[in-house]
């Protein structure tokens, strides 16, 4: 049996919503990629993270169908759970800081997998989109809720055959949108998740959110 922690990452101000994340603290129980991919597929979360070195924050990230070099909500969640100062996914070293109820990471937008960032004229248009919208490829649909205040309404659709129809909170896409717009953003995504971002030095982006522990060390079959 493997024990996993289940977190909700990028929760709203009331602690609800957020994107589910499975964390396998003892990644060495699944040393090969095929075994990790199989477990991530069985769990069915948008991402599952395997911790290979908890002291140095070395992690490996999987969706139900593929391995990712970088993803936002697994890194924020793992950093919060393990109280890390840095997290090290395959893409590179990610700095972490804690600020009250928010956990922040600093990363480079070029680490994020490609996304189509499509702006809509109104929040109502984003809310009215079917899940998933017609078309192919990863879609991040967004509209200004209050442009002067940097408030964005967004929804995310992987549009891939892995059971994730709509992604509740997507850190990588938030990084890309922040880099494209060149300004700090307060993003409400999905049913009510919250992601906060700001451009940093040397092209980096800082991103923060709330994390909540849903289930501690739940046993699942290997």
pLDDT digit string, tens, across residues 151-176 = 999 999 999 988 999 999 999 999 99
pTM over 0.85, yes/no: yes
How do residues 92-148 score in pLDDT, each as one tens digit?
999 999 999 999 999 999 999 999 999 999 999 999 999 999 999 999 999 999 999
β-bridge partners, 152: 144, 187
Give the DSSP H/E element, type plus range, for residue 197. strand 193-199
Question: In whole angstroms, what is the distance from residue 165 CA to residue 185 CA?
Answer: 25
Report in angstroms the alpha-carbon separations of 66 from 59, 168, 191.
Answer: 15, 18, 25
Predicted local confidence at residue 22, as pLDDT? 98
Task: Give yes or no for a contact between 100 and 120, defined as CB atoms under 8 angstroms apart.
Answer: no
DSSP 152-184: EEEEEE--SSSS-SSBS--HHHHHHHHHHHTS-
Residues 181-192: pLDDT tens digits? 999 999 999 999
Q: What is the residue-averaged pLDDT of the chain?
A: 97
Cβ neighbour number for residue 40 with a 10 Å cutoff: 27
Q: What is the pLDDT of residue 222?
A: 81
> What Rg do the C-alpha atoms of the chain give, in angstroms?
16
Distance CA 38, CA 60 (A): 14
Q: How far apart are CA 90 and CA 118, in angstroms?
A: 28
Q: Which residues pair with 110 in a beta bridge?
A: none
Q: Give CA–CA dist 158/165, Å, rounded.
A: 7
Predicted confidence (pLDDT) at residue 221 exceeds the cutoff of 90 = no
What domains are defined for the chain?
Answer: 2-92+209-220 (3.10.310.10), 111-208 (3.10.310.10)
pLDDT at 96: 98
**In the prediction, which pLDDT does 200 show?**
95
pLDDT at res. 158: 96
């Amino acid at each position: 049996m493997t024990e996993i922690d289940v977190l909700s990452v990028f929760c709203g101000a009331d602690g609800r919503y957020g994107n589910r994340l499975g964390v396998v603290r003892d990644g060495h129980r699944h040393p090969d990629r095929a075994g990790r991919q199989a477990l991530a597929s069985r769990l069915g979360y948008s991402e599952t993270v395997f911790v290979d070195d908890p002291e140095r924050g070395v992690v490996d990230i999987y969706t139900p169908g593929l391995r990712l070099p970088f993803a936002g909500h697994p890194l924020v969640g793992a950093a919060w759970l393990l109280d890390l100062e840095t997290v090290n996914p395959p893409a590179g070293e990610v700095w972490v800081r804690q600020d009250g109820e928010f956990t922040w990471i600093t990363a480079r937008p070029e680490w994020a997998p490609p996304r189509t960032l499509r702006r809509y004229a109104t929040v109502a248009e984003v809310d009215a989109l079917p899940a998933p919208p017609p078309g192919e490829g990863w879609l991040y649909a967004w509209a200004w809720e209050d442009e002067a205040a940097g408030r964005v309404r967004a929804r995310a659709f992987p549009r891939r055959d892995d059971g994730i129809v709509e992604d509740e909170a997507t850190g990588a896409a938030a990084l890309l949108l922040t880099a494209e717009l060149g300004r700090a953003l307060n993003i409400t995504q999905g049913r009510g998740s919250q992601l906060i971002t700001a451009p940093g030095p040397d092209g980096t982006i800082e991103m923060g959110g709330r994390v909540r522990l849903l289930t501690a060390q739940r046993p699942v079959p290997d």
